[in-house]
Amino acid sequence: METELAKRFKIEGFPTLKFFRGAASVVSDYGGGRTASEIVSWVTKKSAPATIPVTTKAEVSDAVEAGSVAFVGLFTSADSSLSTIFTASAGASEAGAFMVAYGEAGAALRSAYGVGEGDAVVAVNNFEGQPNVVIMEGTSVDLFVSANSLPYVVAFSQETVSKIFAGAIKTHYLLFASPKASSYEGLLSAFRTLASKHVGELLFVSVDPSGDGNDKILQYFGITDDKVPTAAIVKMAEAGMKKYLFGEGDLIKGMSAFLDSFKDGSIKPSLKSAPVPAKDATSSVRVLVGKSFDAEILAGPEKISLVEFYAPWCGHCKALAPVWDELGAAYKADTSVGIFKMDATENEIDHPEVNIKGFPTIVAFVGAPGSKTVVEYDGARELKAFKFVVRNHGARGCPLATCAPQVLLTLLYPTRLLSHPFIFQGIPFQARCRCS
C-alpha cells in the first residue's frame, strides 16, 4: 500500500521494525530480539538520552569496564556541527557508551587523552586486554564508531551478528577456522595482526564452522568441511552482495596477498551456478543458470530478453509461473524475443545494473550483444502487460516518433507519474522511454 514510504526508509523485507528518535531524519533499524520483553528492553535503552555528560577519566574507565568501549566527544559547545553529528550517531548506534564534555568541562579529558583544542572524538576500549585510546582523524563519525566498536577480530555468533551487519563498514574479511585445530592460534594471530593494519577499512570476523547456525554461512559461501581452514571477503552494497574466496596455498602466508588482490581488483567474485541444463525443446521458457547467463543474455543476439529471477519457495513466484509459461509459449517461435527464468537461490550473476532484493525480480535486457540496455520491470504481473512491453520496446519499433531505435519502454502500473500516458485494455499506466 505505502510503496513510496517503504522505498524512502528502505523496507526490503517483512516484518521490518524502525525506530524514530525526535524526527524522521534520525531513524535506525531495530536491532533487538523478537520477544515482547526483548523489544521493550531495546526500546527502553533507545529512549534514554543518546549521550552522557562526563568530566573525568575515571567515569570513562567505568563505562569501558561495563561495556568494553566508550566514545567520548570533546566539543567547544553543544551546538557545534561535529557535536550534532556525534549525537545523531549515538542515537542510531548499538555500540558502547557515548559520552560528551563541552568547553572547560572537558579540559581534564583532553589532557588525559592528548587531545588539543577544537572538537574531537575519542574511542576508549579494552578489547585486547588493555586500555586503548584512538583519536578520530580523517573519517566520519559513523565509520569511526563502526571501526572501533568491536575488537580487531570479532567472533561470529548470534550475540555479535547484529553488530557485524548493522555497522557502517560493509566489507568483511572472514576467517573460517576451528578453534580445536592445532593451527588455529597461529591463524588467528596472523589474522589479528592483519586486521590491526586495516582498522576502518574492513571488518575482520572469525567463524567457527561448528558454531550454532554457522553451517548455513559455510553453505552460502560454498565452503565444505575439507576446505577449512580458509577465508573469504564479502562486500555488501546497494547493488547486492559480492563474495570472494581464498584460493589454494598456505593461508597464513597468503591472507595478506588475498586482501591486496581484492583491493586492486585482480580477483573476481565467486558466483554460484547450477549445472548448465540440456536444452528442452518442449519448454516455452528457457532455464538460465549462473554459468550460462553471460552467453545467453549479455552476449546473445539482438532481441528483448525478459528474465524472471525467482525462488522456489516464493509464493508470488508460484503464482506468476503459469503466466510466465503462457508468455513463453506466445513468443516461442519468435527469435526476437526470449523468455527466461533463473533460480536465484542456486545461481548468482555479477552485473552492476541487476540488483535482486526480492522475488520475483523481472529484468528486461534489450539491444545488441555487449551493449544491452537493462531495466527492471516494475509493472503489473499480467500477461497483457508483459505482451505490451514486448510489442513496444525500441528494438521492435517504439510508438513514440521522437524516440531513437535504442529505446526500452517499461510499463509502470498503476500511478507513477512519468511521461507519455497510454491506456491499454482499460489499464491506466505510463510508459517511460530510455533514449540514448
pLDDT by residue (tens digit) across 163-216? 788 777 899 999 999 999 999 999 999 999 999 899 888 999 999 998 888 888
Q: How many other C-beta atoms lie within 10 A of the C-beta of residue 202?
A: 21
Reply yes or no on whether the pLDDT at 404 is more than 60.
no
Q: 219 and 89 in one domain? A: no
Q: For the residues of 129-173, what is the DSSP string, one character each?
A: SS-EEEE--SS-HHHHHHHHSS-SEEE--TTTHHHHHHSS--EEE
Reply yes or no on whether the pLDDT at 429 is more than 80.
no
Three cell numbers at 390? 514486448
Among 231, 264, 297, which residue terminates a domain?
A: 264
Q: What pLDDT band is residue 394 in, cutting at 50, 70 and 90? A: very low
Reply yes or no on whether the pLDDT at 407 is more than 50.
no
Q: 197 and 101 in one domain? A: no
In 3D, which of 95, 69, 106, 100 has the Cα closest to residue 84? 100
Q: What pLDDT band is residue 293 in, cutting at 50, 70 and 90? A: very high
Q: 422 and 402 in one domain? A: yes
| Per-residue confidence (pLDDT) for residue 127, from 0 to 100 | 84
Q: Report the share of the chain in percent with pLDDT over 70.
A: 86
Q: 326 and 404 in one domain? A: yes
Q: How many other C-beta atoms lie within 10 A of the C-beta of residue 334?
A: 13
| Per-residue confidence (pLDDT) for residue 101, from 0 to 100 | 93
| Per-residue confidence (pLDDT) for residue 14, from 0 to 100 | 76
Q: Is residue 277 part of a domain?
A: no
Q: Is residue 235 part of a domain?
A: yes
| Per-residue confidence (pLDDT) for residue 22, from 0 to 100 | 66
Q: Is residue 275 part of a domain?
A: no
State the SS3 of 245-271: ECCCCCHHHHHHHHHHHHHHCCCCCCC
Structural domains in the chain (count) = 3
CATH of the domain at 393: 3.40.30.10
Q: Is residue 406 part of a domain?
A: yes
Residues 6+ apart with CB under 8 A from 36: none
Residue 301 and residue 366: Cα distance in Å, rounded?
Answer: 10
Among 144, 170, 191, which residue terminates a domain?
A: 144
Q: 112 and 24 in one domain? A: yes
Handedness of CA 418, 423, 429, 435 (dihedral sign): negative
Mean pLDDT of 397-418: 34
Q: 172 and 82 in one domain? A: no
Q: Is residue 425 part of a domain?
A: yes
Q: 45 and 72 in one domain? A: yes
User: Domain containing 380: what range?
Assistant: 286-433
| Per-residue confidence (pLDDT) for residue 237, from 0 to 100 | 76
- Please name every residue paired with 242 in a beta bridge, in sequence order, or none if there are none: 235
Q: What is the side-by-side strand order in the sheet with 97-102?
A: 52-53, 97-102, 69-75, 120-125, 132-135
Under 8 Å between Cβ of 112 and 57: yes
Residues in the chain: 436
Q: Is residue 225 part of a domain?
A: yes
Q: 397 and 305 in one domain? A: yes
Q: What pLDDT band is residue 24 in, cutting at 50, 70 and 90? A: low
